[in-house]
Structure 1
């Protein structure tokens, strides 16, 4: 939603406090701009109090010699002289005044700014003046900083020249900074006694922000005519000799520099970056580079240098949740403050044989009420999902080696059991735990193990379908046309079905054949439960995964210790699917089994900072327990249990749990009820009728949705990760519509995922 026009400079004006002279200095800015530009626009989004005292009326009265160039407006006017949120509540009974949402409020401001910009064909300025201090509430009660943030307008802060004003000004500036605002200048009055400007000028100079101090207004005469004349003389002084014109030139320069910086970023990036997952030979022009100026909620603000009219910043929906890390939206203030809180308290801390409150709180939460509840006893911290899986593999392979008494070369020859199409990360060990697919590979990739082709679940032509791989198709009945989604995911009910028996026999037969043929000794079962993400959003039949775990565990002798792993340790890679990505905290209750090791990341910190956790059962932990250091888990990272990540994770989990109790969550679940009042086994935030409609489209092979995930697979004879068909078909939604927004997406071969 951010607005940036080449010939139309916009600045939003915040006050460090109430009664700091914000309107007086804004009037001077407007008068100065009118002296330099052809047109000047002023907007007061919210005004409370009598019309004669309104700030936009003051601008009109004191616009100066060029007042005919000035246009003022107020969008929401309330006559009670109280805080905007209270004024809105008091006006509820008035049919002309209604409480509006933050989204409606911000959209109305954006629409007004765009109208003003299109009216001006020559250089012009715009000033948006807020009410009170930076944290004064808007109509909904949300603080101004958070409410206005989607607009992301360059900011002028009017500081406080009174006693205590140094602290108030710095605090206001830091509040703006924590929310990502660009502060171009700080203005305040001179006070010969407190001399706040003398301190603040060098303080902010070190931070690259200009401070401009102005003479304070003269005492207000009792005579009305003299009051008007005195005010006019004061404004004339500020514009002609008081420093307004040099300030305006500096603001224009900052505006031009920002446009120049954004315009050059695509070219400079092409010359500098080695992008992940990108074939640079296909990046043909600067237009192929997404220049992200800022992000807020579910949207990026991207720069388009070839715009002939309108804003060069355009809204773009983050259609892939930023590689599936986002759950609460970009630039969430609570997460930002959590990171700042931990940064201020800790910075970096060494973690071996140490503890700190954010890490301990997170670990206890994960074990006592999170995905590790009831089975895990230990939490190991790492940096991201891939490294978390490296840890999980080390844990499982060591546990297997210790129990089996393996040494030397026998330990090196171990393999894993999994599903074809799985993906566990790009580090070497995680890659080796996946089948050789020809895409996620490198020269050292040495796939170690065996991978079943799994049965899948999808919606085709409006109905759920279980699709069996060729190895199973001949020995099982085709999918029942009357099958429901709730039945497909009711694993307990399906365990005694004929299809479960077919799955069990197939898995047992395959494992026995591998042993006879001298295949790799399998030491761990590694699964992405329910959905294999990067491999193409493959929704695996949950019954197959449940039966696979049951068969693996039944093949091993009963362990001597109660609750110890059996057969081989089972790893759940819940990096993608966990923490309510699929509408459930963990896939464990649905599958009806617990793993021995599980890995969580992505949503864990709401996409703000890197962090991953590997949870392990006590029996796996004991394989490393002893008195010799060589038998310990000698794995770690410089940022293990980084306090910032842990604090952000704690806040993320709190907010996500709160979201699961929200009205929107409840309403979405209700749409998936098999019958009124019956809780669905699985559900989606995507409307089932929408899925039905899309699944019946000619170009669509199948769709599937669960929780926040939507997967659309197109009919494509060259289907696969390297296919460009989806990219081509979806290009139209990546094009910008000035009345709406474009969509940022990343296709997985022929899959389009949201």
Structure 2
């Protein structure tokens, strides 16, 4: 988590390279800050080399006449004068009792120390955190400093390189910092009169609005120790004069202004937001300034949010909030993942954006081949169509499906009859469906809170049976129309376990499957005879209908429905009955622990849509995949028969490159120990089934899920993959209910925990979550650590049990 204090201005000092004068200039900053009467804290997190050469000792040695105002610290110290990662390994090889911290524990140690010093700063103070070597020098774990320190998100001073090659090194280091989101407040370097790098760099960075200051270089080091001390002290007296004038004091003033400006900007953001922004899914009449979440930065699974209500000047104004909705279901690898950022830069630098019709580029081609041949389209898909987001991709899917149906069904109709018949085509779907906010996608759902004045529901929507865990038992809930067809008329069926419930192939010959089939055949016959519309496609959100209220549909019902509309065709090759569309925008690409819902249902679609996780949450992009028979419906020698649909940013190279990188990372994670361990818990859980262990599992602990289902305040729960949802008992259930938001409001508060915090830095945390009426859902990234998940589970449990008392 980032740290920001009213009375403690902190800057992290990075170097463009080794031996660029980083410690020397940091010492000058420390000395100048102390001369101004400030308390000054200097921290060297990792030091390597002999104690007499240690940077914290150097700062102390040349602290100047106000050294009593200066406190220096070092957290990890190693004797060998090499990179921190190598120094730690050498110490281990020598048999020394050394514990090499993980990145998380390392950042926690640094953050804890900073907070400790902040409590000792009742009045305005300065702090400098000096890194080791260059920006990419490794920390103790081997992770580069840029990535290791990133969760702290401290404003930065970059020490440029004044020597030969220093222009390139300085610019490259700056760009590396920017790629990872760092705020670079100033660049400092020596005025080398031979290479004169400062002249070029001052001009270069001035055009980019970055402050650059050049300072006189130190005198050559004298071999006589005592003489060298005197020469160096004399140098500092000229660099940091008692008159408090000169370049170094200008830098101090600039850094103070940057700190003040950041505080003022954060403080003003709520009011400015209310004046200019129209949010989605928010009733502005209910929102006050204090209700607005000001996100200063994000890292991994955590937002860093501004707490403007803090009165203490030595408590961080920035607090961590766990991103409990995975930022509307988009996050796959956490925020600001460096590999995705670099992938974006790679494509931006090579292509920017390029027109796509009748053209190709490598990122798009690789992504299409990966999805169609090796991904969710393997074995059935022929083509991949690129679009902007899930909603537009679903409109493409609907257009594909209806055209394919129309081409097959029109036969020898006259053109006017053909047009009229096509206008009357409708969609078959499920109640609770949601396929996006564009008008066409809305029309493929029944009327509800999301639809608009132009809405015209073009189709028929079946009331589906659902799956949930209630009081520790897996229950299939049948709607009245289906329950009445069963032998005993019971609406709630104990299905034994989640594992057996999702073992669709084993359930196809059960009495319930027979009931479903009979009900669907009779219902579809009535629809076709009296609906007034010809059904032209079946459109489903497989397994879970997200925006409709995290509705877990009985997978057997969806499988039987597909079989019925196809006439029990396998769906391989030529489609029969109705084209089948899978909206996997939410559920696809391992959101539910599976690459696709296709293997679970045991049947292929004719068209499917992927988005959300596709690009790791970094940029919007979606893919609609289609079988050859669907593609062939548009194939002819007439332009008018083509799929005349497209977007300016079709096959956006940056999105394609990020998607390729995301899928590569996810493929590796899917075989990781963390995933294997999570799966094994569900195999052995009472609610699971060993026969179906690879089909249904979750990152959430099964014992946690079962325990929550037994709380008095809870009606039912479900967990699958990254998703955990809780349906609270509420007589006014539905989207317009406020019960979930009201009962769980305190979970947003920043409180401590006995478990590891999801915030790097170990700080107390809150949880940012979303509700759907009386449904609260929580979502993880695919790489959220088990320790963080347990911590989040504890917060949820504590909040719900408090409400149950």
Normalising by structure 2, what TM-score?
0.91
Per-residue deviation, residues 345-396 of structure 1 (Å, max 9, x unmatched): 0011000100000000000000111000010001000000000000000000
Contact 1:507–1:548 (CA<8 Å) still a contact in 2?
Answer: yes
Q: 765, 775, 796: which is aligned to 1:741?
A: 765
Contact 1:527–1:571 (CA<8 Å) still a contact in 2?
Answer: yes
Alignment pair present for 1:466 and 2:476: yes
Alignment pair present for 1:688 and 2:702: yes
More displaced stretch, 171-180 vs 464-473: 464-473
Aligned partner of 2:565 in structure 1 is: 552
Report the alpha carbon displacement of residue 91 of structure 1 after superposing the two structures with TM.
2.4
Aligned partner of 2:420 in structure 1 is: 409
Alignment pair present for 1:659 and 2:669: yes
Q: Distance in 1 between matches of 2:738 and 2:498?
A: 31
Q: Distance in 1 between matches of 2:123 and 2:213?
A: 28
Alignment pair present for 1:532 and 2:556: no
Aligned partner of 1:399 in structure 2 is: 404
SS of the aligned residue for 1:302 comes to: strand
Aligned partner of 2:232 in structure 1 is: 231
Aligned partner of 2:361 in structure 1 is: 356
Report the alpha carbon displacement of residue 515 of structure 1 after superposing the two structures with TM.
2.1
Aligned partner of 1:429 in structure 2 is: 440
Aligned partner of 1:49 in structure 2 is: 49
Contact 2:636–2:642 (CA<8 Å) still a contact in 1?
Answer: yes
Contact 2:56–2:73 (CA<8 Å) still a contact in 1?
Answer: yes
Contact 1:214–1:242 (CA<8 Å) still a contact in 2?
Answer: no
Q: Distance in 2 between matches of 1:162 and 1:667?
A: 52
Report the alpha carbon displacement of residue 30 of structure 1 after superposing the two structures with TM.
0.4
1:436-455 correspondence runs (5 A):
436-437=447-448, 439-455=449-465
Aligned partner of 1:142 in structure 2 is: 143
Q: 271, 278, 292: which is aligned to 2:282?
A: 278
Aligned partner of 1:255 in structure 2 is: 259
Task: Give RMSD over aligned pairs.
Answer: 1.5
Pair 1:482–1:500, CA change in 2 (3 A): closer
Q: Distance in 1 between matches of 2:358 and 2:529?
A: 46
Contact 2:146–2:177 (CA<8 Å) still a contact in 1?
Answer: yes
Aligned partner of 2:587 in structure 1 is: 577
Report the alpha carbon displacement of residue 681 of structure 1 after superposing the two structures with TM.
2.5
Report the alpha carbon displacement of residue 79 of structure 1 after superposing the two structures with TM.
1.3
Report the alpha carbon displacement of residue 210 of structure 1 after superposing the two structures with TM.
0.9
Aligned partner of 2:293 in structure 1 is: 290
Q: Distance in 2 between matches of 1:538 and 1:153?
A: 42
1:60-71 correspondence runs (5 A):
60-71=60-71
1:254-403 correspondence runs (5 A):
254-283=258-287, 285-309=288-312, 310-403=315-408
Q: Would you say how many aligned residue pairs link Structure 1 and Structure 2? A: 749
SS of the aligned residue for 2:427 comes to: strand
SS of the aligned residue for 1:747 comes to: strand
Q: Distance in 1 between matches of 2:676 and 2:50?
A: 43
Alignment pair present for 1:115 and 2:119: no
Aligned partner of 2:616 in structure 1 is: 606
Contact 1:37–1:123 (CA<8 Å) still a contact in 2?
Answer: no
Q: Distance in 2 between matches of 1:218 and 1:525?
A: 79
Q: Distance in 1 between matches of 2:58 and 2:233?
A: 12
Aligned partner of 2:9 in structure 1 is: 9
Alignment pair present for 1:507 and 2:508: no
Q: Distance in 2 between matches of 1:10 and 1:679?
A: 50
Q: Distance in 2 between matches of 1:566 and 1:471?
A: 27
Aligned partner of 2:801 in structure 1 is: none
Contact 2:485–2:519 (CA<8 Å) still a contact in 1?
Answer: no
Pair 1:677–1:404, CA change in 2 (3 A): closer
Aligned partner of 1:205 in structure 2 is: 206
Q: Distance in 1 between matches of 2:465 and 2:95?
A: 60
Aligned partner of 2:794 in structure 1 is: none
Greater relative contact order (CA < 8 Å, ≥ 6 in sequence) = 2
Q: Distance in 2 between matches of 1:290 and 1:47?
A: 38
Aligned partner of 2:555 in structure 1 is: 542
Q: Distance in 2 between matches of 1:602 and 1:127?
A: 40
Contact 2:156–2:185 (CA<8 Å) still a contact in 1?
Answer: yes
SS of the aligned residue for 1:672 comes to: helix
Q: Distance in 1 between matches of 2:692 and 2:520?
A: 34
Contact 1:734–1:742 (CA<8 Å) still a contact in 2?
Answer: yes
Contact 2:433–2:540 (CA<8 Å) still a contact in 1?
Answer: yes
Alignment pair present for 1:753 and 2:773: no
SS of the aligned residue for 2:295 comes to: strand
Q: 610, 633, 636: which is aligned to 1:626?
A: 636
Q: Distance in 2 between matches of 1:541 and 1:380?
A: 30
Report the alpha carbon displacement of residue 627 of structure 1 after superposing the two structures with TM.
1.1
Report the alpha carbon displacement of residue 722 of structure 1 after superposing the two structures with TM.
1.5
Report the alpha carbon displacement of residue 81 of structure 1 after superposing the two structures with TM.
1.7
Pair 1:482–1:277, CA change in 2 (3 A): closer
Q: 494, 498, 520: which is aligned to 1:485?
A: 498
Q: Distance in 2 between matches of 1:488 and 1:265?
A: 49
Q: 575, 578, 584: which is aligned to 1:565?
A: 575
Q: 722, 726, 729: which is aligned to 1:715?
A: 729
Q: Which blocks of at least 5 consecutive residues in structure 1 are unaligned? A: none
Report the alpha carbon displacement of residue 325 of structure 1 after superposing the two structures with TM.
0.3
Contact 1:201–1:211 (CA<8 Å) still a contact in 2?
Answer: yes
Pair 1:555–1:591, CA change in 2 (3 A): closer
SS of the aligned residue for 2:400 comes to: helix
Per-residue deviation, residues 599-651 of structure 1 (Å, max 9, x unmatched): 00000001101100000001001111111111111000000001000000000
1:112-191 correspondence runs (5 A):
112-191=113-192
Report the alpha carbon displacement of residue 94 of structure 1 after superposing the two structures with TM.
5.2
